[in-house]
Structure formats: structure tokens, C-alpha cells
Homo-oligomer: A and B are copies of this chain.
């Protein structure tokens, strides 16, 4: 394969291992696995999950649900507060597959009761501390009103209560992640007990990659929905939730210029290929990606003391040592491990496995 422009490389072996590990973990704990497909957004990569027996998935938009329904998935949760404006496509999906929607307000619940024409599963979104979306587990007034509306509705069936403990991403240690995981889980368990009389089949569903990767205690949990683990990335590495050897994507970028006076190498690979997501490394340097050498579409460990220090639209700046500087030439191709693989994968039009075949993926089409 000859790479000429920024190209999203996928190491299939690493990716399959990541999928297998999480599938086995769910199986070991006898909980349902509903992986979030917003990270890879690809029907082909989805089929690798299907081959391991996965039957239910999570997506983050109605359009993505349509894409995966067309690819044969028939049990899909759109884990995003219902977008009332897409009710027509929601109805089409609800007619065709086992669709699950996310509710967190009385208003949207009433809207669905009026407009939803076919039975759908409902997950109640609970905020366990991340404060992005969801109802506080202590917000009895709204929770009970929504549940009583659901109870009376012929088309709305409560599938479960759900949280995304995104606050694990701001944890400073593995212990912190595990603590957030535990507290988040406990809040859902307490809530479940309160509503069990009316909804005996209500599931408890949790879903962040840091928690699902590190935790060994899933007591009280019925379902997990991690997504990022399929590729991982350097944000996860810095959180301590994966090893470098588990990072399954890298962006191959042509080297276009070198500046010896500041040991900087310029690549064709910028914010429109990698995204402007950054992390701070152990030396508190702002990092937009780490750098690996490529060989036949594969890579090893990141090159030490070498990182993307800045990104413009099309340019990436690699900061390195004088020694490494001499080893990388203009016209060569270098690999970048992304900070946030979900955003990087979203930006690039397809995956390449090192051969010439492209793995096609969903692309938001407005």
C-alpha cells in the first residue's frame, strides 16, 4: 500500500483482541454487551462483534442507527437525548427493529407518547456525577413522573436505567476511576430498588471505557456499553486504562518539512485529520498525538520524547530530540497515535489495514 495523504490505519489484530477481551469480560460477569459503535462507525468492524455473538449495540445519532440497521443490526439503542425533530426517522426505525431511546425529561416523554407510532424500548438517563445529561438519581419528582407516563403508554416500554460515568475521564488515578465506577453503579442500584415494584425487568446499564476496562466488580449491573475500547487511544493510555500495544489505530502522515534549529518536523496531518483534542503528558506538555514508526501498516511503541506539539488545519508539528530528528526524512511517512480515537476516526473517510482494501464507514451527511 502506498500512502500519499493522511490515512487512518487499523491494526486488525489489536482491534480484534480489544473486542474479544471486552466480550469475554461481559460474558464472565453474565451481563449483556451493548457496545457503543460511535467510535468505529463501520459496518465491517461491527461484523467482527457479531461474529463473537454480540447482538445489541449502542449508537449516538438517529442517522447512525439507520446506517447500522441497514447493516443488519436489529437491537439498537440511540444513547442520546431524543431529538424530537427526527421523529419521522425514529418511527421508521421503531417499525423495523427493536429500537431503544433515551429519555430524561417529562417534556420529551410526552412528545414520544403523542408521536411514537410503534413500540420502543426506553432507557431513563441518570446523571451519576458527570453532569452532562440525565436526571439526578435523587430527582424523585421527575423520575416518577416520567416512569408513570411510560407505564401508561402502550408504545413506551422501560428497558432500563442508564448512566455514562464520563467523570472517569477526569480521574487522576486508577483508584479514582474505580471509585467513580463504584459510586455510579451504586446510585443506579439504589434507584433500581425504588422502581423495581413497577418495573421488575428494568436493566441497569453503564458505559464508559475507563470504568469497563479497569473494573472487576459488576455486581448489580445488567449491561455495559463502552465504545472507545475498540481502538483505545493515548487519552486512555494516560488514564491507565490501556497499554500502548492495545491502541489499534494510527494516522499515517507524510513528512513535508524539517526545522533543525528547533528539532521540529512538519507533517501533512492537521486538525482536520486528527482533531484538536489534546492531553497533557507526564511533563505537563500539551500533546495532540504521539509518534510511531510504521512498517507495512503496523507500528510498535511511541518514539520517546517525541509528540505532536501543535496542529493547524492541515499541518502537524512534531517536537522531537536531535537524535530522532535525523532519523526521519522528508517524503517518508510517519504514524500518529491519536489523542481521542473517536474524533479522529470520525474525521477520516475510511480505514486502511495496510493492504489496499479500504474499510468503509458511516459519514454524517447533514
Contacts and interface: CB of A to CB of B under 8 A. Distances in A.
A197 interface: no
A313 B38 contact: yes
A350 interface: yes
A268 interface: yes
B313 A257 contact: no
A32 interface: no
Nearest to A278: B276
A57 to B, nearest CB: 16
B271 A277 contact: yes
A155 to B, nearest CB: 19
A313 B60 contact: yes
Nearest to A273: B364
A163 interface: no
A93 interface: no
Nearest to A352: B366
A266 B133 contact: yes
Interface stretch (A48-56, A76-84, A176-184): A76-84
A331 B114 CA distance: 14
Nearest to A169: B312
A314 B272 contact: no
A111 B315 contact: no
A104 interface: yes
How many copies the complex holds: the figure is 2
Q: How large is the interface on A (under 10, 10 to 19, 20 to 34, 35 or more residues)?
A: 35 or more
A234 to B, nearest CB: 15
Contacts of A347: 272, 347
A301 interface: no
A350 B3 CA distance: 27
Given A132-B310, A312-B132, A314-B80, A366 B350 contact: yes
Interface in A141-196: 166
Contact of A254 (B85, B272, B343, B364): B85
A18 interface: no
A61 interface: yes
Contacts of A317: 132
Given A271-B275, A343-B313, A257 B60 contact: no
A352 B365 CA distance: 13
Interface string A55-98: 00000111100000000000000001111111000000000000
A179 to B, nearest CB: 22
A113 interface: no
A110 to B, nearest CB: 10
A42 to B, nearest CB: 14
A19 to B, nearest CB: 20
A63 B364 contact: no
18 contacts: A4-B83, A4-B85, A4-B86, A5-B366, A38-B314, A61-B268, A81-B257, A82-B256, A84-B330, A85-B254, A108-B257, A108-B330, A132-B315, A272-B346, A273-B364, A276-B277, A349-B366, A350-B366
Interface of A: 2-8, 38, 60-63, 80-86, 104-105, 107-108, 111, 131-133, 166, 254, 256-259, 262, 266, 268, 271-273, 275-277, 310, 312-315, 317, 329-331, 333, 342-343, 346-350, 352, 358, 363-366
Given A313-B342, A349-B363, A358-B366, 8 more contacts: A5-B62, A7-B366, A38-B313, A60-B314, A84-B330, A133-B259, A271-B343, A348-B364
